[in-house]
Structure 1
Amino acid sequence: MSENLTGTVALISGASSGIGRATALRLAGAGAAVALAARRADRLEEVAADVRSAGGTALVIATDLTDADAAAGAVESTVAELGRLDTLVNAAGVMLNGPSDESPLDEWDRMVDINLRGLMYVTKAALPHLLDAAEDSPRSVADVVNISSVAGRVAAPTVALYNATKFAVTGATEAWRLEYTTRNLRFSVIEPGRTASELFDQKANSDADFTAAFGEVEALHTEDIADAIGYIVTSPRRVAVNEIVIRPTDQP
């Protein structure tokens, strides 16, 4: 049986849209106070308003998590304002695919910064607080959920740097899981397939490229991924969900 999250605090990166937004609403609905981190303050305020209108507690943290000091500040603000940190969901991400000989180097840097460095900076800063929460929580557990991708499992042409960042996220999550498994801090990775979100709006022709590779598919909804995250973090302490791959039914 799943447990509710009343009395716990969750920090969600990339919370202004997509999977991050859906996750914030899902965890707030389970009783968690949520800290919403992303760069777009106006979009975060909209998410916070939705949380509060449903009776939840939301803290807006408009910041650039690719800056190590800003990432640490987001964690410290969460703990200072909401009192603790039990759950971290790293959902921020960018996908800028294309032929490697034609792709601008700054796009590669941007994927490394957002998909990998930002995740590492937030996770590093959060670890002491998550370990404290695992010790004093009535649930006796804390969670980190990292959003990778099926591109973190299978390489593809024109996807080299996105593959690189997502393979890294998947690998780091498993290494952290092994490192902290005896301290009641669970690490989980989710690898979604095609999901309807702003990810495919970040570069021209992304939808066309996907359709050319995989054909027309009925995309997952962001709420489908948020439900998987909810399952992970509301599971009792004895249940550690290490990895979930979620593809649309008709995606090869």
Structure 2
Amino acid sequence: MTATAGPLRDTVALVTGASSGIGAATARALAAQGAAVALLGRRRERLEELAGELRGEGGTASVVAADITDRSRAAEAVEAVVSELGRLDTVVNNAGTMGVGPVEDSPLDEWERMIEINVRGLLYVTHAALPHLLRAAESSPRGVADLVNISSTAGRVARPGTAVYNLTKFGVNGFTEALRQEVVRKRVRVSVVEPGTVDTELSSHLRDGAREAVERQVEGLELLRPEDIADAVSYIVTRDRRVAVNEILVRASDQTW
């Protein structure tokens, strides 16, 4: 399939946290379905590299380097995408971070960073994007627009050592469902994808001690790949407008939690 021939042709998709991992894989998947893809993240060099790859395959890609934890910059980033590409049909809120460790000795800075990225960043992008998604749903030949939030199995299962990460992801799940009900009759589909253990950079950002604990927990598991989650996102947003896939839980096949 060429980059312009898929079911998302003539649509525009925005992916946050697009510089690596699930975000980069999702951008590739949506471009392969024909969408023009806006890549949002903080690492411009990586975003430019991915954009060059997508353009080389015949796709349309835009780079917006911004920190979405800044409310005004998040809003400006969304407006920049619409200004450059003309519309906004799909948003994938993928940007996120993880911190682990017992509550009693976890650094407060780590908690604040999770809340800033996993919750505030997602809210800021959603708030800025929603009016454009509502307009796209009215004007698109597909008759629908999509907002997909990337959560986690940690949004379903609370475990010792992940209390604040659980807080953020349970919050994402609750927000997603409430917003879905608000806009369901306006043809904006709101969905959540909950990945299990995925082979990404996420654990590499953990502090010493916490990183080793996570590595021990997943030792022996065959981890999911970012492309596995991108497949789930692609499935959601390419359904006919009569179909809404509200939630997809994707675990590694031998993951128990």
* Secondary structure at 1:4 match in 2: coil
* Secondary structure at 1:130 match in 2: helix
Give the CA RMSD over aligned residues. 1.1
Q: Is the 8 Å Cα contact of residues 203 and 214 (structure 2) preserved in structure 1?
A: no
Asked whether 1:245 is paired with 2:249, we answer yes
Provide the residue aligned with 1:173 in structure 2: 176
1:111 to 105, 110, 114: 114
* Secondary structure at 2:62 match in 1: strand
Asked whether 1:229 is paired with 2:233, we answer yes
In 2, Cα distance between equivalents of 1:173 and 1:207: 29
Higher mean C-alpha deviation, range 94-103 or range 7-16: 94-103
In 2, Cα distance between equivalents of 1:44 and 1:119: 19
In 2, Cα distance between equivalents of 1:215 and 1:238: 42
- Matched ranges for 1:63-78 at <5 A: 63-78=66-81
2:163 to 135, 160, 164: 160
Provide the residue aligned with 1:99 in structure 2: 102
In 1, Cα distance between equivalents of 2:185 and 2:212: 45
Aligned pairs, how many? Answer: 250
Task: Report deviation, 1:96.
Answer: 1.2
Unaligned runs of 5+ in 2: 1-5
Task: Report deviation, 1:214.
Answer: 5.3
Task: Report deviation, 1:200.
Answer: 1.1
Question: Counterpart amino acid of 1:111?
Answer: M
Q: Quickly say closer, same or farther: Cα 1:24–1:206, change in 2 above 3 A.
A: farther
- Matched ranges for 1:147-226 at <5 A: 147-203=150-206, 204-206=208-210, 208-213=212-217, 215-226=219-230
In 2, Cα distance between equivalents of 1:205 and 1:25: 34
Task: Report deviation, 1:8.
Answer: 0.1
Q: Quickly say closer, same or farther: Cα 1:205–1:5, change in 2 above 3 A.
A: farther
In 2, Cα distance between equivalents of 1:59 and 1:96: 30
Task: Report deviation, 1:210.
Answer: 3.0
Task: Report deviation, 1:50.
Answer: 1.1
Provide the residue aligned with 2:132 in structure 1: 129
In 2, Cα distance between equivalents of 1:48 and 1:213: 35
In 1, Cα distance between equivalents of 2:209 and 2:187: 43
1:22 to 11, 22, 25: 25
